[in-house]
Amino acid sequence: MVGPSSYFTPSRIDELAAEQRELVGRRERLLGNAYRLFYDQPVEIVRGSGTLLYDADGTEYLDVYNNVPSVGHSHPRVVEAIARQAAQLNTHTRYLNRGIVDYSSDLLATLPDGLDNAMFTCTGSEANDLALRLAKAVTGHAGVIVTRNAYHGVTTEIAAISPSLGGLDTVAPWVRVVEAPVGDGLTFVRQVAAAINELRDSPHGLAAVIVDTIFASDGVRPAPTAPGSPGFLAPVVAAAHAAGGLVIADEVQAGFGRLGSWSDAPHRFAEPASGLWGFSRHGIVPDIVTLGKPMGNGMPIAAMLARRDLVDEFGSRMRYFNTFGGNPVSIAAAQATLNILRDEQLPLNARRVGDSLRAQLRDLAHTTPELGEIRGAGLFIGIDIIDADGRPDEARTIALLNELRRRHVLIGASGLANSTLKVRPPLLFSPADADRFLTELAGAVQAVRGSSTSASGTTPRGRASEQI
């Protein structure tokens, strides 16, 4: 008997309905066992609109999981931009093209002075890979500091700074790992300082400290203080700079408004309070910022932003060209996405709906012993699932994922113990969507509580946290 898992267990293929069994079987045969499917009963999604997804039978699902389609699935303005540009031209950046220049201008205008240059890639992994290449080239050092369950991507280099992928044994010798921030983050600050000192005294030296500014795979760790006031990242920046290293803010998950604006009022995008960037909540300016996932609402596009002097230094020594990076179709999608974020004031929606949802989740947690701490900012929320002794309960978390899927709500998990429900829906998530989620979550907790399999047997390698 195989226990519950975040993923479909291939040996259970005979439990599927005939048509799905045939498709799952072909998929397994053609894509191999490195490809996995969410949930003990896979969903075949065929259509999306706003915060809703539909399976092959027309059943509607509420999407509480997908942070890529941040302006909503199949947003007509993004679709139109893609279709128009694809019909006109798709080529590379070695011909002059107005779209990439205009988009870079609009994008960089939302960032603080000092982050002056954009370089485009196709994936967040490539953006982080480029950021690390730049940091190593410019500092002349190799050492990198990451958090305990960090996930920054899947290239060889970036997998080696992503302990969430393969554990501490798989990080490179030039990597130092610190515990993710909890509470006021003081321990985190001290651990980073100690790691910096250790690297500085080693042959590696310090190239960079890299942080996902919402610490998604570490279980969602927002700034402990009011946005913009110095939090636990300001002393990290100071210590890194003092040691000759750089700070890379990985905004692949936190960026583009997910963490919400800083007040319940509209903001202009150029203001830090617009909430477009996670690092701004900490009152810091990183040396390098990496972007990805929601940038083109699903089109493959990502970027590395950096101080001009760093890019100049790198560019004077190395070439970088990415065939599909910054192609006109991906840029058109990114421009439309940025315009929609602004026109529909989605960071403000993330703030309003997120604040309200967290408050309601805390109310629910008061009367629900399985729900522990609720953390988050905007529409990135972590819900700790705990056992009767208040400890992380991975088995129950997985049972809840699967129960919510049966209730047509799609969600994932995160954290070192894979026991934090990860709430990060498209940013147009409405109060009604939030109510529906709360109702189904409460129902799922009850259903799992009554089920005999709730807390039994986690599968080996069953983590869902590290990937997207």
Site for a copy of itself in 249-268 (CB under 8 A): none
Q: Looking only at residues 48 through 87 of this chain, which bind a copy of itself when binding is defined by CB under 8 A? A: 48, 53, 66, 68-69, 73-74, 76, 78-79, 82-83, 86-87
Q: Is 435 in the site for a copy of itself (CB under 8 A)?
A: no
Instruction: Report if residue 319 touches a copy of itself, rule: CB under 8 A.
Output: yes
Q: Which residue has the tokens 């760093």?
A: 310
We find the least distance from the C-beta atom of residue 139 to a copy of itself, in angstroms, to be 15
Among 298, 372, 415, 426, interactor with a copy of itself by CB under 8 A:
298
Nearer to a copy of itself by Cβ, of 181 and 425: the residue is: 425
Nearer to a copy of itself, 262 or 314 (CB): 314
How far is residue 229 from each of residues 232, 378, 450, measured CA to CA in Å?
A: 10, 17, 45
* Nearer residue to a copy of itself within complex by CB, 232 or 314: 314
Q: Which of 9, 13, 20, 442 binds a copy of itself (CB under 8 A)?
A: 20
CA geometry: angle 238, 380, 114, nearest 5 deg: 35
Backbone angles phi, psi at 23, to 5 degrees: -70, -45
- Are 413 and 6 within 8 A, CB to CB? yes
**Residues 65-90, buried b or exposed e (16+ Cβ, 10 A)?**
bbbbbbbbbebebbeebbeebeeeee
Determine if 166 is a binding residue for a copy of itself (CB under 8 A). yes
- Give the nearest distance from C-beta 357 to a copy of itself in angstroms: 23
Residues 142 and 207: beta-carbon distance below 8 Å:
yes
Under the binding rule (CB under 8 A), the answer on residue 24 touching a copy of itself is yes
Q: Compute and round to an integer the Cα radius of gyration of the chain.
A: 22
| Residue in 59, 105, 263, 439 binding a copy of itself, rule: CB under 8 A | 105
> Of 64 and 386, which has the nearer Cβ to a copy of itself?
64
168 binds a copy of itself (CB under 8 A): no
CA 263 to chain centre: 23
When the beta carbons of 83 and 226 are compared against a copy of itself, the nearer one is 83
277 forms part of the interface with a copy of itself (CB under 8 A): no
Is residue 156 close enough to count as binding a copy of itself by CB under 8 A? Answer: yes
Residue nearer to a copy of itself on the CB measure, 1 or 30: 30
Report the half-sphere exposure of 14 (CA within 13 A, side-chain side): 1
Question: Binder to a copy of itself among 5, 40, 43, 146 (CB under 8 A)?
Answer: 43
Q: Quick one: 161 exposed, middle or buried, by C-beta within 10 A (0-12, 13-18, 19+)?
A: buried
Torsion of the alpha carbons at 438, 443, 444 and 446, rounded to the nearest 10: 130
User: Which member of 5, 40, 126, 370 binds a copy of itself (CB under 8 A)?
Assistant: 126
Q: If binding is defined by CB under 8 A, does position 5 make contact with a copy of itself?
A: no
Q: Which helix (H) or strand (E) holds 55?
A: strand 52-55
Write the Ramachandran bin of 334: left for phi over 0, alpha for psi from -120 to 50, otherwise beta: alpha
Minimum CB distance to a copy of itself smaller for 26 or for 190: 26
Residues 216-245 that bind a copy of itself (CB under 8 A): none
- Smallest separation, CB 96 to a copy of itself (Å): 4
Interhelix angle 124-139/308-317, rounded to 10 degrees, is: 80
Return the range that interacts with a copy of itself (CB under 8 A); candidates 183-191, 318-326, 375-383, 385-393. 318-326
Which listed residue (185, 257, 283, 292) binds a copy of itself by CB under 8 A?
292
C-beta atoms surrounding 21 within 10 Å: 13
Site membership for a copy of itself, residue 3 (CB under 8 A): no
For residues 140 and 156, is the Cβ–Cβ distance under 8 A?
Answer: no
Q: Which distant-in-sequence residues (6+ apart) come within 8 Å of 316 by Cβ?
A: none
Pair of tokens at residue 270: 């150029």
Q: What residues between 328 and 367 interact with a copy of itself by CB under 8 A? A: 329-330
Of 138, 216, 223, 311, the one binding a copy of itself (CB under 8 A) is 311
Please identify which residue in 44, 264, 343, 363 interacts with a copy of itself, judged by CB under 8 A: 44
Query: How many chain residues are in contact with a copy of itself, going by CB under 8 A?
Result: 100
Q: Are 269 and 342 in contact (CB under 8 A)?
A: yes
Q: Do residues 71 and 426 lie in contact, with contact meaning Cβ atoms separated by under 8 Å?
A: yes
